[in-house]
């Protein structure tokens, strides 16, 4: 019984060792083979110098983002079954390439606003050490103080900072994979554009500021290289593997900038 | 192996040189927005919006140039009119109307979505605009080419 194979065209680049090129490999595949499986097979059996990033293998860490047949995918959950007999694999676009399929992610993280304690530190606020916490709406919840060091608990989110009835979209879902920046057609032509993930993170800050000044976030997002650079291609939302809907977040920021009349808490 | 004089590890200077930045699409690196492969309706709409925008600007200057033929006189204008009333030329008018319709209707969609007013209706807006645009193009084509 002959084994089914797919032809992989893999982008190659080694610093100081010639230019860019594509190498072709015939890879045996099964019904559940992912692109990452195929690339690791190439690395083990054909070319150990092939460089790629990966970690969790279940679309959670966001490290294996790459272009598969020109489209942004997480290689660990991208089935070869969904592609043709020849599959082209390239590094993410709009980011400097370190080697082969590995891009310099500093070019992605450097775009984020400096103050984004929730998104980056992923820690509960200082006043979440326990005690009374009053939730908005019909429910009022009182928690006992937690002993010892700071512990995380879902109910410890500081809902007092949010406007009543706020539609919480958990941008913690963003796995910071960089796929949205690669897919963004504006980032291809505008190097200064901060990009979808950073703007979505800023919008998330408006929902739960936790000490960050609302006007600072809006001033940061309202710069020429901020929300106004977006041309509504919506490729970020389409490419997002975590359904963090960054385009919708950008438009919400714009709405805030257009119709902003101060802090929601002060309006009450 | 001896270290360089500045006491850096071998290869440090090479690592400081930024690697190439890959972009989608063939040609110059900044042409990535133009490549429709791997894009959805939003990305393709954006590319077509830019292309039709360039076409409309080009037409504006062409239009001004043509109007300036009036300065030459009646004979130049008359011969020009016989050219532009040919069926092949009228077909180009249909292409121009299609470009204007797409640019205008997509612009309305972008304005609504871009101001945060109809983000969740974005796809519906796109298809409503597409249906209106196609109907208008068919009507314009039949009218211009003399079938109506």
Residue of chain B minimizing CA distance to A185: B33
Residues near A245 by beta carbon (within 8 Å), at least 6 away in sequence: A169, A200, A237
Q: How far is B78 from chain A (nearest CA, A)?
A: 44
Q: Do A97 and B32 touch (CB under 8 A)?
A: no
C-alpha atoms less than 13 angstroms from C-alpha of A14 in its C-beta half-sphere: 7
CA distance A107 to A109: 6
Please give the residue of chain A at the shortest CA–CA distance from B24.
A93
Cβ-proximal residues to A40 (8 Å cutoff; 6+ apart), any chain: A54
pLDDT tens-digit series, residues B4-46? 667 777 777 777 777 788 777 665 566 778 888 888 899 999 9
Partner-chain contact A248 B22, CB within 8 Å: no
- What's the Cα-to-Cα distance from A42 to each of A18, A26, A129, A219, rounded to whole Å? 21, 9, 50, 48
- pTM beyond 0.90: the answer is no
Please tell me the predicted confidence (pLDDT) of residue A127: 47
Contact of B48 with A116, CB cutoff 8 Å: no
Q: What's the gap in Å between the CA of A184 and the closest CA on chain B?
A: 8
**B137 to chain A nearest CA, in Å?**
24
Q: What is the mean pLDDT of residues A116-134?
A: 43
For residue A268, the model assigns a pLDDT of 42
- Which one of A29-33, A155-159, A162-166 scores highest in mean pLDDT? A29-33
Within 13 A of B56's CA, how many CA atoms are on the CB side?
A: 14
Residue A171 has pLDDT above 70, yes or no: no
B107 touches chain A (CB under 8 A): no
Specify the range with the lowest mean pLDDT, choosing from A251-255, B42-46, B65-69, B103-107: B65-69
Give A-chain residues touching B17 at CB under 8 angstroms.
Answer: 15
Mean pLDDT value across chain B: 85
- Provide the pLDDT confidence category of residue A141 given band limits of 50, 70 and 90: very low
Average pLDDT on A226-233 reads 92
C-beta of residue A195 within 8 angstroms of C-beta of residue A108: yes
Which residue of chain A comes nearest to B45, CA vs CA?
A: A233
Nearest CA in chain B to A253: B116
List the domains of chain B with CATH numbers: 44-144 (1.20.1300.10)
Angstrom distance (rounded) from CA B30 to CA B40: 19
Domains of chain A: 5-104 (3.10.20.30), 107-267 (1.10.1060.10)
Residue A90's H or E segment, with its range, is strand A86-90
B49 in Cβ contact with B107 (< 8 Å)? yes
For residue A189, the chain B residues in CB contact (below 8 A) are: 30, 32-33
Of A69, A92, A252, the CB nearest to B38: A69
pLDDT at A91 over 90: yes
The order of strands in the sheet holding A65-68 is A21-28, A5-12, A86-90, A65-68, A71-74
pLDDT digits (tens, 9 = 90+) for B82-95: 888 888 888 889 99
Question: What's the ipTM?
Answer: 0.77
* C-alpha distance across the termini of chain B, in Å: 85
Report CA Rg, chain A. Answer: 22
The tens digit of pLDDT for each residue in A172-200 reads 678 999 999 999 999 988 878 999 999 99
């Amino acid at each position: 019984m002959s084994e089914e194979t797919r032809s992989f065209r893999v982008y190659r680049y080694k610093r100081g060792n010639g230019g860019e090129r594509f190498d072709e490999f015939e890879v045996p595949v099964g019904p559940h083979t992912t692109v990452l499986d195929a690339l690791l097979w190439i690395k083990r059996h054909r070319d150990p110098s092939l460089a790629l990033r990966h970690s969790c293998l279940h679309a959670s860490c966001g490290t294996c983002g790459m272009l598969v047949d020109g489209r942004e995918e997480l290689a660990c959950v991208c089935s070869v079954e969904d592609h043709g007999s020849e599959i082209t694999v390239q590094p993410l676009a709009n980011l400097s390439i370190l080697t082969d399929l590995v891009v310099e992610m500093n070019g992605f993280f450097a775009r984020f606003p400096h103050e984004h304690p929730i998104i980056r530190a992923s820690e509960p606020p200082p006043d979440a050490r326990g005690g009374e916490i009053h939730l908005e709406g019909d429910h009022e919840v009182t928690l006992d103080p937690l002993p010892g060091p700071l512990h995380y608990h879902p109910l410890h989110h500081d809902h007092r900072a949010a406007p009543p009835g706020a539609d919480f979209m958990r941008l913690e879902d963003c796995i910071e994979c960089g796929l949205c920046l690669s897919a963004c057609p504006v980032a291809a032509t505008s190097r200064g554009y901060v990009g979808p993930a950073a703007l979505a993170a800023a919008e998330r800050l408006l929902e739960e500021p936790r000490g960050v000044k609302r006007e600072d976030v809006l001033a940061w997002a309202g710069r020429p290289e901020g929300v106004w650079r977006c041309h509504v291609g919506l490729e970020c939302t389409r490419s997002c593997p975590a359904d963090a809907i960054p385009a919708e977040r950008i438009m919400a920021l714009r709405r805030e900038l257009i119709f902003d009349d101060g802090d929601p808490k002060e309006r009450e | 192996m001896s270290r360089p004089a500045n006491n850096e590890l071998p290869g440090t200077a090479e690592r400081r040189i930024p690697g190439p930045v890959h972009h989608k699409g063939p040609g110059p690196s900044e042409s990535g927005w133009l490549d429709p492969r791997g894009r959805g309706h939003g990305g393709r709409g954006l590319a077509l919006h830019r292309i039709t925008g360039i076409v409309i600007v080009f037409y504006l200057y062409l239009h001004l140039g043509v109007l300036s033929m009036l300065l030459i006189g009646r004979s130049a204008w008359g011969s020009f009119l016989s050219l532009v009333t040919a069926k092949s030329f009228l077909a180009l008018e249909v292409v121009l109307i299609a470009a204007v319709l797409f640019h205008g209707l997509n612009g309305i969609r972008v304005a609504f979505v871009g101001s945060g007013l109809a983000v969740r209706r974005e796809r519906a807006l796109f298809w409503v605009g597409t249906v209106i645009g196609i109907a208008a193009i068919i009507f314009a084509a039949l009218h211009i080419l003399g079938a109506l």
